[in-house]
């Protein structure tokens, strides 16, 4: 496993914990800047709500990490999700970020069988 794939797998774990905790700022910090702006407009955080303490041992399965230069995708399955979903990533200023959509021409993570092994 290469350094980029390791970074993406760590990002998926960090992003999952941020989403589970419900902390808007943490989620936005891990997202592509343009997607973070949209997230900020549509996600309303209750200012009086205490952040939830996510389970640090949450079960996250990462399959089919596909890296194409500074763009990537992966199939992600969490214990509380009915089905796996594709996540997209962009490397910006040396740091991988989560994006809502993959760039044009980027294969879906499931389109490249055997591209990586499950976590």
Architecture of domain 3-45+55-111: Roll (3.10)
- Counting beta carbons within 10 angstroms of the beta carbon of residue 59, is it exposed (0 to 12), middle (13 to 18) or buried (19 or more)? exposed
- Tell me how crowded residue 81 is: count the other CB atoms within 10 A of its CB: 11
What's the pTM value of the predicted model, to 2 decimals?
0.75
**Two structure tokens written together for 47:** 């200012």
Can you point out the beta strands (E) in 2-84? 60-68, 71-78
Cα–Cα distances in Å, from 53 out to 73, 76, 112?
A: 28, 21, 36
Q: Is the pLDDT of residue 114 over 60?
A: no
Residue-range domain boundaries for the chain:
3-45+55-111
- Residue-wise pLDDT for 46-96, tens only, equals 556 665 666 666 788 999 999 999 999 999 998 878 899 999 999 999 999
- 36-47 average pLDDT score: 68
pLDDT of residue 105: 53
Cα–Cα distances in Å, from 49 out to 61, 65, 108?
A: 29, 35, 36
- Residue-wise pLDDT for 12-39, tens only, equals 999 998 888 877 889 899 999 988 887 7
Scanning the structure block, which residue is given the tokens 């343009």? 34
pLDDT of residue 25: 87
pLDDT of residue 49: 61
């Amino acid at each position: 496993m290469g350094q980029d794939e390791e970074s993406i797998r760590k990002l998926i774990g960090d992003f999952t914990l941020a989403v589970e905790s419900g902390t808007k700022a943490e989620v936005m910090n891990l997202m592509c800047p343009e997607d973070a702006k949209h997230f900020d407009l549509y996600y309303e955080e209750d200012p009086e709500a205490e952040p939830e303490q996510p389970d640090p041992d949450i079960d996250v399965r990462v399959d089919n990490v596909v890296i194409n230069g500074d763009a990537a995708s992966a199939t992600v399955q969490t214990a509380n999700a009915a089905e796996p979903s594709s996540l997209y990533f962009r490397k910006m200023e040396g740091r991988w970020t989560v994006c809502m959509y993959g760039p044009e021409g980027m294969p879906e993570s499931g389109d490249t069988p055997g591209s990586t092994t499950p976590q």
